[in-house]
Amino acid sequence: MVKASIIGANGYTGLELMNILSAHKSVTITHLVSVSNKSTRITDMYPSLVGLKDSFFEGVDDLDAISKDSDVIFSCLPHAASAELCGKLFERGVKIIDLSADFRYDSRSVYEKTYKTLHPYPELLNLAAYGLPELYKEKIKKASIVGNPGCYTTCSILPLYPLVKEGIIDADNIIIDAKSGTSGAGKKAETSGLFAEVNENFKAYGVAVHRHTSEIEQEISNAAGRDIALSFTPHLLPVTRGILATIHLKPIIDIDEHGIYEVYRKYYANQPFVLFSLDKLPSLNCVKYSNYISIGFVLDKRLRRLIVVSCIDNLIKGASGQAVQNMNIMFGLDETEGLRMQPRHL
């Protein structure tokens, strides 16, 4: 059994991790840390977590104790605070899966510029694997620190990577128009997140300045073998879960739908959580409550353009499910263990 602990367990990614891990057959949960909710019974905050009805949130006072009986720690803290703590836990010999942005970047300067903060443990950036198993499974297997990707980034990189790597599309003309449910904004009490503000509303935000842009660009640059800059425009959907990205592309070779489908087959046929289709576009209800990403596309022959649509559940494949997938890989478990939930149409 893998002994797993969660730091920052009270937020929505923590909630989702508790949900998945408490049903995972090869995991024992050892510590659920929430400084602001220390000593609160878990089910007082989340009655839905029936399986944790005798558990309480702990503080983070004794790192030695937490490290000692944890094989892996999931950190759901905000960036900077997360690296600060993860660094200390790593020094104590625990494996780390960090859901913040702190270990996602190859380049310290890109991280520091994007997040406008100094990295407290820059020396760990080289050690950390980028936790997108469909691209980096071998690195993740050997990693002791994994930087778990962002939600928008997972939904953007996976459909784009093969098309760029194979030279199918013009990598200098990538336009990602993405739409996310509100759970992506987390559990902070802010007026802008109130039901009355979000319901029956829809808006773009962070246009041209959203932080996930640099993370997507890092991976698409890897695919292209050169620096790529791309346009990323996020929107806030009045739904709780799910991201749909509509990606507007320009093919640069003569290719038909079957050719594009074969590209995806080449990269993802053996990936257990990637669904892709020749003739159907996914919608949120094809993936929500599951760890799948679903990819579809339309080749617009009239305009010689390619529109790719991808969907994930932002809290699962976009956060906690992917984190558990990474854990499974790091500990030699079946990659799908604990993650076999089917999507929910309703």
Q: Is 283 in the site for its own copies (CB under 8 A)?
A: yes
**With CB under 8 A, what is the number of residues at the site for its own copies?**
82
Written as six digits, the tokens of 315 are 């809290």
Return the residue of 22, 154, 222, 320 that touches its own copies, per CB under 8 A.
22
d(CA 178, CA 150): 13
Return the residue of 35, 271, 307, 337 that touches its own copies, per CB under 8 A.
307
Q: Is 138 in the site for its own copies (CB under 8 A)?
A: no
Q: Is 207 in the site for its own copies (CB under 8 A)?
A: yes
Return the residue of 70, 222, 290, 322 that touches its own copies, per CB under 8 A.
290
Q: Is 107 in the site for its own copies (CB under 8 A)?
A: no
Nearest to 156 by CA among 40, 317, 15: 317
* Selected range binding its own copies among 68-76, 79-87, 90-98, 198-206, rule: CB under 8 A: 198-206
Q: Which residues between 29 and 58 bind its own copies (CB under 8 A)?
A: 46-51
**Least gap, CB of 12 to its own copies (angstroms):** 6
**Least gap, CB of 2 to its own copies (angstroms):** 20
d(CA 96, CA 103): 10
d(CA 312, CA 95): 26
Q: Is 78 in the site for its own copies (CB under 8 A)?
A: no
**Buried/exposed 178-197: b ≥16 CB within 10 Å, e otherwise:** bbbbbbbbeeeeeeeeeeee
Q: Is 187 in the site for its own copies (CB under 8 A)?
A: yes
Phi, psi for 270 (deg, rounded to 5):
-100, 10
Q: Closest CB to its own copies among 126 and 199? A: 199
Which residues does 107 contact at the CB level (< 8 Å), separation at least 6?
A: 125, 218
Q: Is 175 in the site for its own copies (CB under 8 A)?
A: yes
Q: Closest CB to its own copies among 15 and 128? A: 15
Q: Closest CB to its own copies among 22 and 67? A: 22
* Selected range binding its own copies among 24-32, 121-129, 297-305, 327-335, rule: CB under 8 A: 297-305
**Least gap, CB of 51 to its own copies (angstroms):** 6
Decide if 212 contacts 152 (C-beta within 8 A). yes
* Selected range binding its own copies among 66-74, 135-143, 158-166, 294-302, rule: CB under 8 A: 294-302
Whose tokens are 């995991």? That residue is: 27
The SS3 call for residue 85 is: helix
DSSP collapsed to 3 states, 238-305:
CCCCCEEEEEEECECCCCCHHHHHHHHHHHHCCCCCEEECCCCCCCHHHCCCCCCEEEEEEEECCCCE
Question: Can you say whether the dihedral through the CA atoms of 249, 255, 258, 263 is positive or negative?
Answer: negative
Nearest to 92 by CA among 76, 69, 74, 108: 69
- Tell me whether residue 155 is one of the annotated catalytic residues: no
Phi-psi region of 67 (alpha: psi -120 to 50; beta: other; left: phi over 0): alpha
Q: Exactly one of 76, 86, 151, 311 is catalytic; which is it?
A: 151
Q: Closest CB to its own copies among 289 and 331? A: 289
- For 281, how many CA atoms within 13 A lie in the half-sphere containing its CB? 12
Q: Which residues between 226 and 255 bind its own copies (CB under 8 A)?
A: 229-231, 233, 235, 237-242, 244, 246, 248
* Selected range binding its own copies among 25-33, 87-95, 104-112, 183-191, rule: CB under 8 A: 183-191
Q: Closest CB to its own copies among 30 and 182? A: 182
**Least gap, CB of 72 to its own copies (angstroms):** 21
Q: Which residues are catalytic?
A: 151
